[in-house]
Structure 1
Amino acid sequence: MRTHSGALRGLLAASATVIALSGARPALAQEDPAPAQTAQDDGYGLGEIVVTAQKRESSLQDTPVAISAFSGADIAERGITNMSNLQSYVPNLNVGSEQDGVKISLRGIGLQGTTSISDSGVAFYVDNFYVGRPSGGNATFFDIDRIEVLRGPQGTLYGRNATGGVVNVISKAPAQDIEGEVGASYGSREHVELRGMLNLPIAPDVAALRVSAVWSREDGYVKNISTVPGTSDGYGSDGDIALRGQLLLGRPDVIEVLLFGSYLKQNGTGIPMKFLERNIGGPPPTQALLATIPPENPDPLIINNNAPASNDVENKTVFAKATKDFGGVEAVLQIGKMWQTSDLYQDFDGSPVDVSRFRKYEDGDASSAEFRLASTGGGPFSWIVGAYYYKDSTYILRNVKLNGLTPGGMISLPDFILDETGASRTIAGFGSATYAILPEFRVTAGARYTDDRKSGTKVTRGNFGQPFPPDIPNAQFTGIANFDKFNWKLGLEWDAAPDVLVYSSVSTGYKAGGFNISSDASPYGPENITAYEFGIKSDFWDRRARVNLDSFYYDYKDMQLTTLGTFGPSNAPGQFTVNAGKSRIYGIELDTQFKVTRELLLTASYAFTDAKFSALVNRDPRTNILRDLSGNVVPYVSKHTINLGGQYEANLGSSGSITFAANYNWHSKKYLREFNDPVIDLVPSNGRTDVTVTYKVADTGLRITAFVTDLENDVEKTNIYISPGFIGLSAVTSYTKPRTWGIRADFSF
């Protein structure tokens, strides 16, 4: 078995090889630097993306972090319409869902439960506003300036539970130009989308307004063959709407204020449940009724659910951001609030037999405030300091309806009702400083102190008896948990040559613990990570080629793992979180781009990731057997991932241009749970191809795009959900979208 030190030596050797190769190439540019500027001026060189990954603007290639960034043009040309599409372009990004929530992981870290105090290990931001529970986080991307995906712990600058990384979706800001855009799309499964944006300067150099809106609907890709009145033929949308408004006032040298408001309403027609197995359980009458369920349809995208279903999400967000330049120091204050509700109703047994129905209603609000000061002047020393406050409160109602079969016929059992109210509060202070020991050599030190508090109350009514706890009307408990942590980061940067940045860092990350609020209140501890990163970012051949490499090693302690079942000290039903004793994750991510000609761009990336549990003992809820899982693969991690892409623009002269783009993404096998069951948890190796063709009509602002995603039409499982013991502990899954085609037209003015 390969040792950890051997793995590290392998990573360092591979990194050093790439550094040597890339470091030699820029010598060509040193001899005659002028062509590099010319290449960029004539559009031949690779473009530059400005990011705010370190809470200040910098070029993507000058940012010493493993980061993938996509401009608004990239998003449109590659057909990246939402978070699910994005995972085909970012190494080690996985986007799934459970009930009404979006679940994001990076390098195997980040998936969360769906209780009122659950947290993700990947921090999700919309315009730098933290979204703790991203229901509706898979909304359509429109009028986006860029998307930034930071891999690895970002504890010192972002802090709140960012052990796995950060995803930041950044809208286009108001500008001092009159511009607008309208668009429409039509595609598979009667998909229809309407879009619009308008930017208006209100007062020259003082005020500007930008508003955008998207409306969309789709029949859904999972077909329901039930003929029961009130059921849907598919699981899609009855009409989603997203509105965003921004008002920019003032100037940074005096004071600049951005007022932001957004509204999202998703009218989903339900969440399909595809059972991979049928383990009968629950009260005896329910078991008798479950035994009458016919075999599952072998087609993964066909179900027979006999109950009406819906999944409605409403999100309202407002914030104000004030920026003031004091001459060498910039001050930023951002204060905001978010209100979010979701209402999910579904057939809980996923069959044509009326055994069980489930409703989950969630109502929450969150407030946050961040203040920071950052140096803006020149010189060898730069710094940033700040303070952060976050608070959220969430109420969740879960209601399970059960029917049963007796010798006298069908009966209805008393409802199972679980009321849950949880709250989280975070206070943090952070700082980071960079000093240039030499013009080409810099050292960075960062620190953050975080104080977390979680509290909650559970009230359970209507337990059914065995295999659940005895019937106790209004059984309840209240829990409180407090945690605090000091995190740090040390980093080195070296400009090895023009357009070659070498960087390394050691950093720590932390995610607060809590207690099992939906089950038996048993506590679980915080998770901690120490991450070692070593990478290189290089441009060469007059910036017509780019090679970026990042190698990493994670020492992970007490990783939080959540599953659903009826186990634990009190055998209470609900979600149950435990801490894995120790895990180790290491790998290499290589990303390349080549501007072969002015018209042709080629991209290729490869990621190798080895992620395993060093010490973990956990109980599989499907069998209730305690198992030693040491050596098992961390969920949602493929050892090998390859991405190949190409884009060619054909100039048609006075008629405009046509751009052809294709992307192929392949991953090796992965598992969806820590138990690594070869039947239930395994996702075999798979690849998918996305293609877009865009025609730009010259001098008109009109663009027409035809697209196909998943050309192979090969779906795969995205997550595993264990149905609760009311109807037997069975594995349930959902699947990726099959082949999808469409055409969109956009007109800019």
Structure 2
Amino acid sequence: MHTAEGGIQEVIVTAQRTSGLESKTPVAMSVVDGAALAAAGLDRPSDIGARLPGVAINGAADGLRITIRGVSNADATEKGEPSAAFMMDGIYIARPHGQNLDFLDVDRIEVLRGPQGTLYGRNTTAGVVNVISRAPTARFEGAAGVEMGNHGSRKADAVLNVPVSDAIALRAAVSTNRRDSLLRNGQGTPHTLGQDRDATTGRLSAKFALGSSASLLLRLDRSVQRDNNDVIVPDTNFYQGIETGNPVPYDAGTVARLTNAFVPPNTVPEQGHSRRASTGLGAEFSWDLGPATLHYLGAHRRFDHDFLVNYYYRIVPGFALGVRQDFDGSFEQDSHELRVATNGNGPVSGQAGIYWFREEMAQLATFRDLELIGLPPYYVFPSNPVTSSSRALFGQVTWRALDGLRLTAGARRTEDRKSRYGSTNLQQEQVFNPATDIALPNAAALATGKTTWRLGAEFDLAPSTMAYATVSTGYKSGGFNDGAAPDPTLVYRPETLKAYELGIKTRFWANRAGLNLSAYRYAYDNLQLSGVAMVQGVPRFVTANAGAASVKGVEVEGVLKPVAAGRLSYTLAFTDAHYLAYSPDGVHSWAGYKLDRAPRAVFTLGYEHGFQLRDGVMKAGVFSRSSSESTIGVPSQLLRYRIPGRTETDMRLGYEPAGSPWSVLLRVKNLQNKVEPVTIDSFGMTVPSEPRAVALRVDYRF
């Protein structure tokens, strides 16, 4: 970061795959640095969406749910793909349930809004969330912190950076995070419920200087989460009139909304559990060849997940069953990218590269307690293997046509392949018996491809003011449902988007104020919408193309330093995202209805101030977010849930003695202690947001 005396910080970003100032990057984006994350207590990806314009990032029961400008996705199964790419140090993380891991030693998070199909590739119709960790440096330093709060919250983390020699630097980081359940059990069982925390995360990094022109950065990370997947309550905790097809929100206390009092008529819940283990090895290599630099970025990652979860499974309006699901899955992915980027400030600059990705999955999902709807005791989905591969060629060129005018053109050709071998089994016992059980094949293979492109123009209106205009496209690969050919509903088409955007980025008032303004319009075709529906007498998770949608809006993001010790930040987002043509059942039309998690207006305001005391510095901060109402739709049930508008406020107060390595911080999140639905699925299972959290933290740095 760079800053002038009393001015706002200029952030160095890599949104265009090369380093540059955020204020000179022609992309609608937000940057949250690691220090701000720690101060606000935002310790995993699902925490940051409330801080960003046009963005909702939620921790759903089946993984991370990212919505950017109304573009989202609900299929977190092994055959689904996201609409927004989630990346860790530039590495695409494919499975949503492997994305919401604890932050560890983060340098910054770059959130790019709008399709990024040229430089980032497939599954970026909505945008990109890239979490960038700190790399080893040439300075010996370290830090440690401990934190305690309500709900039994306790956390500890530490970082150590060691320069071994002029050519080698090492960095190690570790954290542990614990919390009791936020939900209350009203089912009459002794079991604990979910929304608890039990996570341990570590990372080792090594940076090597290979002569004067090349460097290699290696990262090894490991995260294990042992918590409870029973993170839901019935939608009746929030809504009345569901049986009429028109859910209406009603007032209820926070404790009541966080209580699961559903007593299944057909079974007794078991103690839920979950274990997520994620391991990754990544490498970044760069070699300065003079006129150009060669970059390599690659990684191997493995994610293992097993759990037992108790469902609230609505069969018909007003009647629900209890269903237990056991799951065991393993997911491995490999990715490699080789890229060449020009150096210098000549009239033409550019980059080009090749990309390869492959993922292989094996899983076993078992549902019990569905006998009342005519199914046998075990309803089982074995899948092994499920494979997904992608390869791409891409390039982008920028021409400095005139002083202050730059024109950009880029394109990417992506080829995707998917295949799955498995079945839907109707079993009498836990182990399949071919003499008594039925196996319905789930076998499919699909190849899709798309050329995405980007055209852009940038113009310097003044030394610190830039305007830009872009036209870009996005692409999310197609897929297949349960079943086998020749089922006509087996395959669904790729999702595509064309985006038009105008923007201005400016710094003014002697660099004490900054403003980013963007206006956009999307043409959105073949939306992939998912939910559970009855197919041939059995429930299946089905994805279908939803026709077309229109998305348009305006976003404002600004910062102001009225005094040297004070900083005011604000965002404002107006969004109009609705279906143009969509019928969930072929009879009812949802044309004109809002897309999910796209409130018409969201406003955030934050202020922080440092008070110089005789024996130290006290820092105070407040952040508030106000949102108009939004919608969560369940197309397979023809239900639309209205999420009322709300305001949520966070506050913090810290103190650092003069000349001391110690500091202390008191933090309150969700001061109003209100909760709302985060996700609602086809069965009525609702993940609520988190109640008020209070924490006291102590840090030591050297």
2:353 aligned with 1:386? yes
Aligned to 1:681, the other structure's residue is in SS state strand
Name the amino acid aligned to 2:687: S
Structure 1 pair 602–678 and aligned structure 2 pair: CA distance change class (3 A): farther
2:614 aligned with 1:661? no
1:703, 1:746 within 8 Å by CA — same for their partners in 2? yes
Residue of structure 2 aligned with 1:494, choices 456, 459, 479: 459
- More displaced, 242-251 or 514-523? 514-523
Structure 1 pair 301–380 and aligned structure 2 pair: CA distance change class (3 A): same
2:577, 2:598 within 8 Å by CA — same for their partners in 1? yes
Residue of structure 2 aligned with 1:359, choices 308, 319, 326: 326
Superposed displacement of residue 419, structure 1: 1.0
1:197, 1:212 within 8 Å by CA — same for their partners in 2? yes
2:170, 2:207 within 8 Å by CA — same for their partners in 1? yes
Which residue is 1:671 aligned to? 631
Q: Distance in 2 between matches of 1:666 and 1:48?
A: 27
Residue of structure 2 aligned with 1:709, choices 661, 669, 675: 669
Q: Distance in 1 between matches of 2:26 and 2:686?
A: 38
Q: Distance in 1 between matches of 2:425 and 2:313?
A: 24
1:220-259 to 2 correspondences below 5 Å: 220-226=181-187, 228-229=189-190, 231-232=191-192, 235-237=195-197, 239-251=198-210, 253-259=212-218
Structure 1 pair 699–677 and aligned structure 2 pair: CA distance change class (3 A): farther
Residue of structure 1 aligned with 2:83, choices 121, 131, 154: 121
Superposed displacement of residue 220, structure 1: 2.0
Q: Distance in 1 between matches of 2:193 and 2:543?
A: 36
Name the amino acid aligned to 2:151: R
Residue of structure 1 aligned with 2:15, choices 18, 40, 53: 53
1:134-173 to 2 correspondences below 5 Å: 134-173=96-135
Name the amino acid aligned to 2:509: W
2:570 aligned with 1:604? yes
Which residue is 1:12 aligned to? none
Q: Distance in 2 between matches of 1:273 and 1:55?
A: 39
Superposed displacement of residue 297, structure 1: 12
Q: Distance in 2 between matches of 1:297 and 1:696?
A: 35
Q: Distance in 1 between matches of 2:4 and 2:473?
A: 41
2:515, 2:556 within 8 Å by CA — same for their partners in 1? yes
2:379 aligned with 1:416? yes
Name the amino acid aligned to 1:496: L
Superposed displacement of residue 84, structure 1: 2.3
Across the two proteins, how many residue pairs are aligned to each other? 665
Percent of pairs identical after alignment? 29
2:270 aligned with 1:307? yes
Q: Distance in 1 between matches of 2:483 and 2:199?
A: 30
1:349-498 to 2 correspondences below 5 Å: 349=312, 355-402=322-369, 414-421=377-384, 422-462=386-426, 473-498=438-463
Which residue is 1:27 aligned to? none
Q: Distance in 2 between matches of 1:748 and 1:598?
A: 24
1:458, 1:518 within 8 Å by CA — same for their partners in 2? no
List per-residue Cα deviations over 1:420-456 (Å, max 9, x = no partner): 2321110001000101111200000000000011111
5+ residue gaps, structure 1:
1-36, 279-295, 465-470, 620-624, 724-730
Which residue is 2:282 aligned to? 319
Q: Distance in 1 between matches of 2:70 and 2:211?
A: 40
List per-residue Cα deviations over 1:49-93 (Å, max 9, x = no partner): 100001000101000000000122222233322222211111121
Structure 1 pair 45–303 and aligned structure 2 pair: CA distance change class (3 A): same
Aligned to 1:189, the other structure's residue is in SS state coil
2:74 aligned with 1:74? no
1:634, 1:674 within 8 Å by CA — same for their partners in 2? no
2:290 aligned with 1:337? no
Q: Distance in 2 between matches of 1:662 and 1:374?
A: 42
Q: Distance in 2 between matches of 1:297 and 1:498?
A: 51
List per-residue Cα deviations over 1:639-692 (Å, max 9, x = no partner): 100001111111114x22111111110111111116599985110111100111
Which residue is 1:632 aligned to? 593
User: Aligned Cα RMSD in Å?
Assistant: 2.5
Q: Distance in 2 between matches of 1:531 and 1:233?
A: 43
1:252, 1:324 within 8 Å by CA — same for their partners in 2? no
1:272, 1:350 within 8 Å by CA — same for their partners in 2? no
Name the amino acid aligned to 1:346: V
Q: Distance in 1 between matches of 2:669 and 2:398?
A: 43
Q: Distance in 1 between matches of 2:596 and 2:389?
A: 29
Aligned to 2:293, the other structure's residue is in SS state strand
TM-score normalised over the length of structure 1 = 0.85
Greater share of residues in strand: 2
1:221, 1:737 within 8 Å by CA — same for their partners in 2? yes
1:150, 1:166 within 8 Å by CA — same for their partners in 2? yes
Which residue is 2:230 aligned to? 271
Q: Distance in 1 between matches of 2:617 and 2:164?
A: 34
Name the amino acid aligned to 2:511: R
Name the amino acid aligned to 2:369: L
Q: Distance in 2 between matches of 1:262 and 1:196?
A: 15
Aligned to 2:230, the other structure's residue is in SS state coil
Superposed displacement of residue 298, structure 1: 8.7
2:478 aligned with 1:513? yes
Residue of structure 2 aligned with 1:215, choices 169, 176, 180: 176
List per-residue Cα deviations over 1:246-269 (Å, max 9, x = no partner): 011114743211111100100012
Superposed displacement of residue 700, structure 1: 1.8
Which residue is 1:85 aligned to? 47
Aligned to 1:474, the other structure's residue is in SS state strand
Structure 1 pair 578–626 and aligned structure 2 pair: CA distance change class (3 A): same
2:148 aligned with 1:182? no
2:232, 2:687 within 8 Å by CA — same for their partners in 1? yes
Q: Distance in 1 between matches of 2:44 and 2:341?
A: 32
- More displaced, 354-363 or 675-684? 675-684
Residue of structure 2 aligned with 1:686, choices 625, 646, 649: 646
Structure 1 pair 322–461 and aligned structure 2 pair: CA distance change class (3 A): same
Name the amino acid aligned to 1:302: T
Residue of structure 2 aligned with 1:738, choices 663, 688, 691: 691
1:512-551 to 2 correspondences below 5 Å: 512-517=477-482, 522-551=490-519
Superposed displacement of residue 117, structure 1: 1.9
2:56 aligned with 1:94? yes
Superposed displacement of residue 416, structure 1: 1.1
Superposed displacement of residue 147, structure 1: 0.4
Superposed displacement of residue 347, structure 1: 1.6
5+ residue gaps, structure 2:
238-252, 263-268, 315-319, 429-435
Residue of structure 1 aligned with 2:560, choices 578, 585, 594: 594
Q: Distance in 1 between matches of 2:646 and 2:372?
A: 43
Structure 1 pair 515–656 and aligned structure 2 pair: CA distance change class (3 A): same
Structure 1 pair 121–349 and aligned structure 2 pair: CA distance change class (3 A): closer
- More displaced, 557-566 or 527-536? 557-566
1:104-115 to 2 correspondences below 5 Å: 104-115=66-77
Q: Distance in 2 between matches of 1:535 and 1:119?
A: 29
Superposed displacement of residue 308, structure 1: 0.5
Q: Distance in 1 between matches of 2:196 and 2:405?
A: 53
Aligned to 1:458, the other structure's residue is in SS state strand
Which residue is 2:160 aligned to? 198
Structure 1 pair 255–113 and aligned structure 2 pair: CA distance change class (3 A): same
